[in-house]
Every structure is written in structure tokens, then in C-alpha cells.
Structure 1
Amino acid sequence: MPSLPKSKSQPFLKVAALLAVGATLIPPAASAGEVAQHHETMQERQVCTPDVLRLCRSLVPDRQAITDCLNANSERLSPACHEVMAQRQ
């Protein structure tokens, strides 16, 4: 399949990455008897999107790998994303 020129594929790739990042930061549904400790808001997901794309892009869409990556790079996170990740622990 022919690929699009970079200028035409760039918006699609950005949207796809943002959707994958958003899905990554959404916690999996709790199983019976479990209570989720924290449900992220759309704003919290958006706050960490630039950090995910900057530090963990190659791991998208692996939710656990991205979470581990953000935790491992906590000193490099933006202040807002650092706060979101601290609340998740």
C-alpha cells in the first residue's frame, strides 16, 4: 500500500498517537470485588500526552509499558504530569 507524503500523514499520526495515549492512561475496568482507586479525567490524560510522546512514544499503545516509562522518568516529567502520576500511586 502506498504511503502518504509526510505532510499529509502527519495529522493522522498525531491523532492516532493522542488516541493511543488517552487509551493508555485510562485504567482497565476493575474486576468483580475490586474498586478502582483513581479514574483519570480527560484533562489529566491531556496533561501527560506531551510527556508520553516525548519520553515513551515507542511504547504506545502498551498501557503498562507507558505507565512504567512515565514512572521511570518522573524527574523528567512536566510538573502537571508529575502531579497526575503521583496521584495514581
Structure 2
Amino acid sequence: MRYKLIPSLLAVLVMATAAHAAYAASRDEQTKACKADALHFCASDIPNKQKITACMKTHYDELSPGCKTMFHKPADGGSKRPLNQ
């Protein structure tokens, strides 16, 4: 049963880190870029979108380069956030 939930959980992850259409990579690109990072750093937060997003922000400096492109790091040192927020 647990493995049947993985696609749904990954969809939640993608929604948590997805950007608006004007800025966004496709859902498939986001999933591909961040799946391993989300499972590594934030598995205990799945399926809570807010917790996943907060976790990914917390681990921004540790994210893979591909996943980092789904986020932006403010030049002023402020909080990190996905492009869609």
C-alpha cells in the first residue's frame, strides 16, 4: 500500500514546489529535478505541502543543482522560496 501512495505523494511535492505557468518548468521537469531531494531531506513531511516547502527551503544549500533551479535564492540573504510564492 505504501508504494501505491508514492505517485500521489510526489504529485503533492510537485504542487508544493511548482511555479506559476509563466515562470514554471513543467510538472515532469520539477518532479525529475526535485524527487530525490524531497525524498532524501523531506520524506517525513510528505504529504503536507507547507512542510515540504519549508523543508526544501531549509535545505536549499544542500539541494541538487537541478532542484535549486526550481527555487531562487534572494541576493539580500532573505528567506528562500519557490518561484511560485
Same fold (TM over 0.5): yes
RMSD: 2.3
Identity %: 23
Match of 2:71 in 1: 85
Bigger radius of gyration: 1
Alignment of structure 1 residues 34-73 onto 2, 5 Å: 38-39=20-21, 40=24, 41=26, 42-73=28-59
C-alpha distance in 2 between matches for 1:45 and 1:68: 17
Q: Which residue of 1 aligns with 2:15?
A: 26
> Normalization by structure 1: what TM-score?
0.63
For structure 1, list consecutive stretches of 5 or more residues without a partner in the other structure. 1-8, 28-36
Point out where structure 2 has 5 or more consecutive residues left out of the alignment: 73-81
Call closer, same or farther: CA 1:18–1:79 in 2, change over 3 Å.
Answer: farther
Count of aligned pairs between the two proteins: 69
Question: By how many angstroms is 1:17 displaced?
Answer: 2.5
Q: Provide closer, same or farther for how the CA distance between residues 51 and 18 of structure 1 changes in structure 2, counting only shifts above 3 A.
A: farther
More relative contact order in 1 or in 2 (CA 8 Å, sep 6+)? 2
Q: Residues 22, 46 of structure 1: CA spacing in aligned structure 2 closer, same or farther, 3 A cutoff?
A: farther
Question: 1 or 2, which has the higher helix percentage?
Answer: 1
TM-score (norm: length of structure 2):
0.66
